[in-house]
Amino acid sequence: MQKRKLGKSNLEVSALGLGCMGLSHGLGPATDSRQAVSLIRAAVDRGVTFFDTAEVYGPYVNEEVVGEALAPVRDRVVIATKFGFTFGDDNKQQILNSKPEHIRRAVEGSLKRLRTDCIDLLYQHRVDPEVPIEDVAGTVKDLIAEGKVKHFGLSEAGVQTIRRAHAVQPVTALQSEYSLWWREPEKEVLPALEELGIGLVPFSPLGKGFLTGSIKEGATFGSDDFRSKVPRFSPEAIKANQALVDLLGRIARDKGVTSAQIALAWLLAQKPWIVPIPGTTKLHRLEENLGAAAIALTEAELGKIADALHDVTIQGDRYPASLQSRVGR
């Protein structure tokens, strides 16, 4: 597996990481913990060194699984986790909270669940409008000085927030959605990251499964699957957005690879400081995804994709209305 550095930092990771959320949270029933541990260790065996989790995934369960899986190889891997929420009495309600004292409590909990004494990359999961980002960055700066955290990251933050945070404590990485069906970061975010020397970690690089071609017209999702609430996965949107999947399929067939591999290879080709974190619960999908790191798209192929994208209009918002206000702040 090739390695990449996130921005101008010295944080080197595998060119593709593993997003671990779906093993415990958000995309249907949680995977059996033994199977989840086995999958994560299989990723290590195949050269993955970058693993992404968060306290909110579960809540808490995903960090425990990641901690158990990676404890035997802790010195060989980079673990990223996130703070930024408190939870209602039922542990389902997510309430934004990035107050300094809460950040410290969250970090102590994450350290225990991850079975480590230091978090490699600590993200603010969502920007909290009630807490100045300077206070958040300052708290993480103190945690770095105390040796509990190595690198600071933001997730789904807007450009001005990124700049303000970076002025207090250098930001190593921004984690945000970016893929062939969500290219909004290209307008303002990517140029700012390049200017500041910050890496980008795209989540949902396969469009929550849509870009693989496995989600067909008529697909339905259970109530415990986040996609059941996402406008982009409405029956009408799935039908309308099939044009992008068809495009990917044609390009993949010409190259003798899969649609998922083309989608990931396209992301890797955009910038050398981009590290996607596709998630999966299946070993064969893990191997398929990792195969994308060895696929080099030529300038002609990238041009063909760019030309074809001009003819494709993606329909449907990527978040339900209740969550739209939490991104891009």
12 CA to centre of own chain: 17
Point out the catalytic residue in the list 57, 60, 123, 178: 57
47 CA to centre of own chain: 18
Q: Are 160 and 189 in contact (CB under 8 A)?
A: no
Catalytic-residue membership of 57: yes
Neighbours of 186 (CB within 10 A): 11
In sequence order, the β-bridge partners of residue 202 are 176
Structure-token pair, residue 178: 């970016």
Buried residues in 240-278 as b, exposed as e (16+ CB within 10 A): bbbebbebbeebbeeeebbbbbbbbbbbbbbeebbbbbb
How far apart are alpha carbons 278 and 291 in whole angstroms?
Answer: 12
Residue 312 exposed, middle or buried by CB count within 10 Å (0-12, 13-18, 19+): middle
User: Would the CA dihedral through 36, 238, 175, 265 be positive or negative?
Assistant: positive
Nearest to 157 by CA among 130, 182, 123: 123
How far is the first Cα of the chain from the last one, in angstroms, to the nearest whole number? 34
What's the DSSP call for residue 51? E
Question: Which residues form the catalytic set?
Answer: 57
